[in-house]
Structure 1
Amino acid sequence: MADRRLEGLALKVGPLGEHDRLLTLLSDQVGVIRLAVPGARKPKSSLAGAVPLTQLELQVVGRRGLPRVRQLRVQHNFGAVGQRLETLAGAQALAELCMGLVEDDDPLNGLLDAVVIHLERLEAISRGPDDGSLALASSVQACVHLLAIGGYGLPLQSCCRSGAPLIPPIGQWDWRCSLIADEGIAIGSQPGAAVQLNPSELALLQRLPRAELPRRQDGELMGPQAVWLRLLAVVECWIRCHLPRPVRSLGMLREALVLPTGGDAERS
């Protein structure tokens, strides 16, 4: 049977039999595909580079059942994100989210490139000084971007109940909007709301679809960590309601940080 060449990102790797590995790969060509990597768990195996969060170039044989990797070349290993628990949890969350967004044999245009961009950012954060806020904010923004690419973008421009524009009245600190997980964001304090946001929190959330993180004029990240934890809660609720599986690593990210999530967040 003819070989084929695949390039992609290893989202998940697990044991298969005594010496093999089961590789879950995100690829522009085929979406998410599961591959057997024969002998990858043996010492000095030429296929030992099949590890999570690694960009790979593969030679694959077989199209039915479980295709097998014949050869591989590592293009880049994002293992540096493991230097910090926050960046590792954020990177794992992106991998989990991809598996929830992409069906087998159904490529999602632009997703792989977006994931790699955000992994590069988390990799850079892992190597610098950070109290966790930058890793948290970068992970939240990455989830917002991937959800939009996957067709599950947060509706941030109009009230899901009235249709009125969602314009945060900055300075009116008694104003609230509410995340209704199966609908969107509604103006006011709504019964049964999953999360409530004040004006500055909503304004920050509305800036996340942009390419870069929101920063102040001095280059510092906008919003304190408590606010980003609240925006993380928004993303978690949306994913739980709209995707077939939760992204458990977002909980790991929350646990890696020290600030509580209860009560009103500090005004940003």
Structure 2
Amino acid sequence: MSPERILEGLSLKCGALGENDRLLTLLSAEEGLVRLAVPGARRPKSSLAAAVPLVLLRLQVGGGRGLARVRQLTVARSYANLAGRLEALAAAQSLAELALQLVPSGEGVPGALDDLLMHLGRLETVVSERQGSLEALAISVQAHVHLLALGGYALPLQRCSRSGSALEPPLGDWSWRCSLLPAEGLVIGAVPGALLMLNASELALLQRLTRPALPRTRAGELMGPELVWLRLLQVIELWCGEHLDRRSRSLGLLRICFAPDHPLPPGAGRS
């Protein structure tokens, strides 16, 4: 019998296990992804029924061979109110999907849980303060930039992937372009066969997303119109499709919230 231990983390995914149990996938700072059996959690009056997605949990875990089992749980924070806005919920779910792809089992990724919780908190503010829908889109795009970097799949935003020259977008030069080649990175100029091209202001905005705060004007308004943020979302979709080899269903739903008739970007991966 394995000794019991305390485990803290964010529930990313739950599924059925047997008739009354749940299979919980938890993101822990120390142990990365941890899969746990939650006995009786699907019974209506179970004390473990709070084992659902997007809840920060403190768990007492034990068990022998195979799946460890949750003995007790305490809810530290629930993000259930994100369901009040479809775009906020889609953004949050897209981050959970990304964490499931990036973080290995049994090995924590330093900073990943804290960064994810920070962005979920910002999405909560979008809902509670009735902020504009564009905020949720921008938060999701920035969070993807952060988490991809933490997980070892950073967008190469500082140098041309072919020449090695610094990517220094000349703001005000509307003829300047850089091309996204997902297998390589960003290349200065209009490259034949590129799946997407960015102008100088779009690249500059994307580069600023590596910082902690979202880019805002002096008046506090979010920089960039909706169309530009949708293009940056497309960069994320194409990059993840190439390097993680899987299309995010939640990112697709997020796109539909803003552009219901916009087709899936070519090469954005497969489910």
Alignment TM class, shorter chain as reference: over 0.9
- Using structure 2 for the length normalisation, give the TM-score: 0.93
Aligned to 1:141: 142
Equivalence for 2:207 = 206
Question: Cα distance, 1:215 vs. partner?
Answer: 0.2
Distance 2:31 2:215 in 1: 34
Residue number in structure 1 paired with 2:85? 84
Corresponding residue number in structure 1 for 2:41: 40
The one-letter code matched in structure 2 to 1:190 is V
Q: 1:245, CA displacement in angstroms?
A: 3.0
Equivalence for 1:241: 242
Partner deviation per Cα, 1:177-202 (whole Å, 9 max, x = no partner): 11110111001111121211011100
**Cα 1:19–1:26 shift into 2, 3 Å:** same
Alignment partner, residue 123 of structure 1: 124
Q: How far off is 1:29 after superposition?
A: 2.2
- Segment drifting more, 185-194 vs 88-97: 185-194
Q: Is 1:251 aligned to residue 257 of structure 2?
A: no
Identity within the alignment, %: 58
SS at match of 1:175: coil
Is contact 1:118-1:138 (8 Å) kept? yes
CA, structure 1 residues 243+64, in 2 after alignment: closer, same or farther (shift >3 Å)?
Answer: farther
Structure-2 separation of matches of 1:26 and 1:151: 17
Structure 1 residues 210 and 259, CA gap change in structure 2 (3 angstroms): farther
Q: How far 1:16 moved relative to its partner?
A: 1.1
How big is the shift at 1:107?
A: 1.1
- Does the 8 Å CA contact 2:125/2:131 hold for their aligned counterparts? no
Distance (Å, rounded) in 2 between the aligned partners of 1:23 and 1:259: 32
Secondary structure of the 1:65 match is coil
2:193 matched to 1:161?
Answer: no
Within 5 Å, which residues of 2 pair with 1:1-268? 1=1, 2-62=3-63, 64-258=65-259
**1:18 CA displacement:** 1.1
Residue by residue over 1:113-132, the C-alpha shift from the partner in whole angstroms, topping out at 9 and shown as x without a partner, is 11100100011112233442
Give the AA of the match of 2:148. L
Aligned residue type for 1:189: A
The whole-number CA distance in structure 1 between the counterparts of 2:182 and 2:123 is 28
Give me the whole-angstrom Cα distance separating, in 2, the residues matched to 1:247 and 1:260: 18
> Could you give the per-residue CA deviations for residues 209-259 of structure 1, whole angstroms, max 9, x where no partner exists?
000000011100000000000000001111111124332211110011147
User: For 2:148 and 2:72, how far apart are their aligned partners in 1?
Assistant: 33
- Structure 2: gaps of 5 or more residues: 264-271
The alignment covers a number of residue pairs equal to 262
Distance in 2, matches of 1:172 and 1:31, equals 44
Structure 1 runs of 4+ aligned residues shifted over 6 Å read: none
Contact 1:83 1:127 in 2 (8 A): no
Counterpart residue type for residue 88 of structure 1: L
Q: Match for 1:42: what amino acid?
A: R
Task: Note if contact 1:226-1:261 (Cα within 8 Å) is conserved in structure 2.
Answer: no
CA distance in structure 1 between the partners assigned to 2:129 and 2:76 by the alignment: 23
Q: Distance in 1 between matches of 2:248 and 2:259?
A: 20
Q: TM-score, normalised by structure 1?
A: 0.94
User: Could you tell me how far 1:260 is from its partner in structure 2?
Assistant: 6.4
The 3-state SS of whatever aligns with 1:6 is strand
- Structure 1 residue 109 displacement after superposition: 1.0
Counterpart contact for 2:126–2:132, Cα < 8 Å: no
Distance 1:195 1:48, change over 3 A: same
Residues 188, 35 of structure 1: CA spacing in aligned structure 2 closer, same or farther, 3 A cutoff?
Answer: same
Per the alignment, do residues 64 and 191 of structure 1 end up closer, same or farther by CA in structure 2, a change over 3 Å counting? farther
Q: Distance in 2 between matches of 1:226 and 1:233?
A: 11
Aligned-pair RMSD on alpha carbons?
Answer: 1.4
Structure 2: distance between partners of 1:224 and 1:63: 54
Contact 1:230 1:261 survives alignment (8 Å): no
